[in-house]
Chain A
Amino acid sequence: MEIKSETIINAWKSSLKYIFESGEDFTDENNRVCREVLNLVIEVNNPGEDITVAVDVLNSFKKWVYPPLDEIGDLILSRKLSPTYSYSYGPRLFNFQNTINQIDNFIIPLLKRNSFSRRGIVLVWNPIQDSNIYKRDVPGLISIYFKIRKKMLNATIVVRSNDIFFGWPANLYQVFVLQDYIAKKLGCKIGSLTTFSNSAHIFKDQFEDIQKVISD
């Protein structure tokens, strides 16, 4: 299934509605009832227009505290792993296995050299650390693919497990921050942002709140 939209808020609402109406229920390993759609593609053509709106909607609920945007953004650009997180995306992108800076030393020079390149991929999933059945926390985001078309930097992310209600808005914001960082270095504009979710899901205990968002 593919959902296309100009803005994040519309894409988010449409995806939530689609999963809510067409998803299949199962109980996950934490005993939570989960409604799932497999292999969902969501494409946002103009993510910069309303990049924070979905997060603002989540913040308007007083039941929970959504992570602050600066913390969400900081994490994707920070090179060092803070000891208080099990993992974070920044160190894996900028210092993968303490060996390679996938952004500054690969993506940026690659796209500078050949703007039509189809090799602009970075990995977040690290099999050495994550392919371990006893590990509690492993990244949801697997890879990010950058390509320049029509002088715009487009990004596609692959997410293995994606909570579309809580996680997707933060994922989009994080990748947008990174997209912006790379686009500035390349001197081009930001294009579309596409997510490919292997398991796009919502949880039953949030159905009431999800319905509020959909119907708003």
Chain B
Amino acid sequence: MNKTEYNLLLFFKKNPEREFSTTDILANIFPEDYKYIEEALKNQFADKQMLNEAKRKKGQLHRKILYYLNNLVEEDILKISKQGNKGEKYFTILLEQGEEIIINKSKRKIIISKPSMPAMPIDGYEQKNIAMRFESATWIDRLNSILLESTKFRNLKELYTAVNNCFSNINDVIGLNDFESIIQDNDINDSFSFLRKINSECVDYGKKLSCIIDITNLKEQESDKVIAFIKEYCDMHSENITLIFDVRSKELQENSDFFEKVIDLFINSKTKIYIKNQDLYGAPYILGRAGPYCFDESEWLVYKKEFQKQSYGLACSQSTVVVDVNRFFKKYNDINQFRLFIKNIVKSLLSANSLQRRKSDEYFREIVKLTFPNVKEVFTMSRNYIRFWNYGWKDPNLNQNYVINLIKSTKKEIDNFCVAEETIYKSCGMPTRFKVAFSCLFNGSKFKFSKGLFNKIEIKKLEDLYSKEIKEMLNVKEEIFQAFDGGDRARFYHTGKTNSKDICRELNIILKTYKIPFFCYDFGQIMGADIKLTTFIR
């Protein structure tokens, strides 16, 4: 085994769970050469010859290291985990947790192993497809969602780089807070290009991005720019980027011209529009593949007052377990067993957090780098999530209050457990945060869960919002929003003929009348839209 190859393998042996860029690897394998190159390139007094020499040497070393790295990829020892900015390759060891690889070449032997995950008290439920870890392969070494403060980035290039780097540390979604400032303060063509580029990155990495537009901060003179951006977004039909309008009912009325134009764009492109009611919920909502994420409102107020000015971003959620409630009750039909089951999930999340904490520097390297030196504040508001699938609200035969009360009382028990755990850790000299939030799960079929019961909130006209049936449904939904402290979403399907004026009125009624902090209007089935054959037959 060649010395460089040997050193490379030793390097990965020390860090079997991590992903490294070619440059990182280069800096570690040839530290002296790398130091010389970096110093030469940063040297303000370096002459042209010195710079050229440093660049030539850098290229040479990159080619050299890539030769060995690619060989190890061919031998199935390493894998290319992603291609980052400017096509730079990232590598990880090709091992599953608990697996071991023995490389034995010409008198040199290296054993690399990836530590296995400890047994968790949900393993049995996973085997029965009742509970699942969301993104089990990276359940511990990535966060589920983070929120970046758009205003802290000087330009779109910086923001793009930050989002792109964070992709390797998250499982589900990145939220961009106060995104309206990005649209308003940058050239519109640059914003278009950002949108296209980031969308393609989201598709490649399978991540979601939520851009939060706070209507309070809209500048009248920039409204054309914002409209143009929204048009570009609607035309793109992106499945990975969500625009979330953070709005108060008063603002909706005051900016009715603007909103009518915006809604027209969403109607014409049959794109879903997401609204967060700022009067009801001050903290941001973001939308991932698993479902909605949000922050605790009282904690958000403290963050806004004390840390937001210096903050680049915040971890929103750490690990998630998803639960098929319907399948659980079909199998066990026991409330006490359900409470125990949820407590077991919480215990598993506690173990996951313990592993995460000890390696957080390593696992969340990009986030730590981005938020330095205020790293500690990044984790002060994050929560773990338990997401429920088929929990009954769409089942007309089930007593809704029964399910809601069960979820609420279980939540109370879990909150007490979390407080007790925080106290124990604190008394052991390990002050740390441990919180668990409840929320809904989108797309249970991805986890082979039971078939989702589908009870639509369908609106044809304004008056429907006052109909007994819709009112009852929304009242139940209000209760669920209270039970799900990790966020929920109400989805309104608009059918029939409509126009932006009417939609504005409907939105206003929802914002003013119902305690529904986050909802979407789905225009996929309005008259004039392309209806799929299956929908038409139904």
Please, how many angstroms separate the alpha-carbon atoms of A108 and B450 in the complex? Answer: 62
Contact of A82 among B351, B357, B423, B426 (CB under 8 A): B357
**Bound: A63/B433 CA distance, A:** 19
A10, B65: Cα distance in complex, Å: 59
Mask: chain B, 370-384; 1 = CB below 8 Å from A; 0 = not: 000001101100000
In the complex, what residues of A have CB within 8 A of residue B364's CB? 83
Chain A interface, >50% SS class: loop
Q: Please give, as numbers and ranges, the residues of chain B lying within 8 Å of A51 by CB-CB distance.
A: none
Write out the residue numbers on chain A whose beta carbons fall within 8 Å of the beta carbon of B420.
Answer: 63-64
Q: Judging by beta carbons under 8 Å apart, are A67 and B424 in contact?
A: yes
Q: A64-B421, A65-B421 are in contact. Are A82 and B358 (CB under 8 A)?
A: yes
**Pick from A68, A83, A139, A174: contact of B379, CB under 8 Å:** A83
| A99 at the B interface (CB under 8 A) | no
Are A140 and B368 in touch, CB under 8 angstroms?
A: no
For residue A139, which residues in chain B have a CB less than 8 angstroms away from its CB?
Answer: 429
- Does chain A have a CB within 8 A of B427? yes
A167 touches B427 (CB 8 A): yes
Residue pair A137, B431 in contact (C-beta under 8 Å) = yes
Answer whether residue A107 sits at the interface, using C-beta atoms and an 8 A cutoff. no
Give the complex CA separation of A71 and B424 in angstroms: 13
| Residues in A neighbouring B424, C-beta threshold 8 A | 64, 66-67, 166
Q: Is A194 part of the binding interface, using a Cβ–Cβ cutoff of 8 Å?
A: no
User: What B residues does A167 contact at CB under 8 A?
Assistant: 427-429
Contact string against B for A residues 55-83, beta-carbon threshold 8 Å, 1 for contact and 0 otherwise:
00000000111111001101100001111
CB-CB < 8 A to B379: which residues of A?
Answer: 83-84
Check: B360 CB closer than 8 A to any chain A CB: yes
Q: Which residues of B contact A72 (CB under 8 A)?
A: 428, 430
B356 at the interface (CB under 8 A from A): yes
In this assembly, does A170 line the interface, its C-beta being within 8 Å of a C-beta of chain B? yes
Q: Once bound together, how far apart are the Cα atoms of A16 and B356, in whole Å?
A: 33
Please measure, in the bound complex, the distance between the C-alpha atom of A166 and the C-alpha atom of B350, giving whole angstroms: 17
Q: Are A163 and B427 in contact (CB under 8 A)?
A: yes
Q: Shortest beta-carbon distance, A68 to chain B, in Å?
A: 6
Across the interface, name the chain A residue whose C-beta is closest to B359.
A82
Asked if B429 contacts A174 (CB within 8 A), the reply is yes
List CB contacts (< 8 Å) of B329-379 with chain A. 347, 350-351, 353-354, 356-358, 360-361, 364, 368, 375-376, 378-379
Task: Let me know if A84 and B432 touch, CB within 8 A.
Answer: yes
Give B477 Cβ to nearest chain A Cβ, in Å. 34
Pick the interface stretch among A39-47, A85-93, A148-156.
A85-93
Residue among A63, A80, A174 making CB contact with B361, cutoff 8 Å: A80
B361 in contact with A67 (CB, 8 Å): no
Q: Is A200 an interface residue (CB 8 A)?
A: no
| A141 touches B (CB below 8 Å) | yes
> Which residue from B347, B360, B426 sits with its C-beta under 8 Å from A84?
B360
Which of B351, B360, B427 interacts with A166 by CB under 8 Å?
B427
The answer, among A86, A137, A166, for a CB contact under 8 Å with B428, is A166
Asked whether B425 is an interface residue with its Cβ less than 8 Å from the other chain, the reply is: yes
Say whether A67 contacts B430, CB under 8 Å.
yes
Alpha-carbon distance A63/B424, docked complex (angstroms): 12
Q: Mark B97-141, 1 if CB is under 8 A from A, else 0.
A: 000000000000000000000000000000000000000000000
**Is the CB of A171 closer than 8 A to any CB of chain B?**
yes
Q: Is the CB of A83 within 8 A of B378?
A: yes
Contact of A170 among B358, B360, B428 (CB under 8 A): B428
In the complex, chain A residues whose CB is within 8 Å of the CB of B433: 84
Contact between A65 and B429 (Cβ–Cβ < 8 Å)? no
Q: How far is the CA of A68 from the CA of B420 in the complex (A)?
A: 16
Residue in A71, A81, A141, A166 whose CB lies within 8 Å of B354: A71
CA distance A114 to B427 in the complex (A): 35
List A residues 127-144 near B (Cβ within 8 Å).
137, 139-141
What are 13 A-B pairs with beta-carbon distances under 8 A? A64-B421, A68-B351, A74-B358, A75-B430, A80-B361, A82-B361, A83-B361, A84-B360, A85-B431, A86-B432, A140-B427, A166-B423, A170-B428
Which A residues lie at the B interface, using CB under 8 A? 63-68, 71-72, 74-75, 80-89, 137, 139-141, 163, 166-167, 170-171, 174
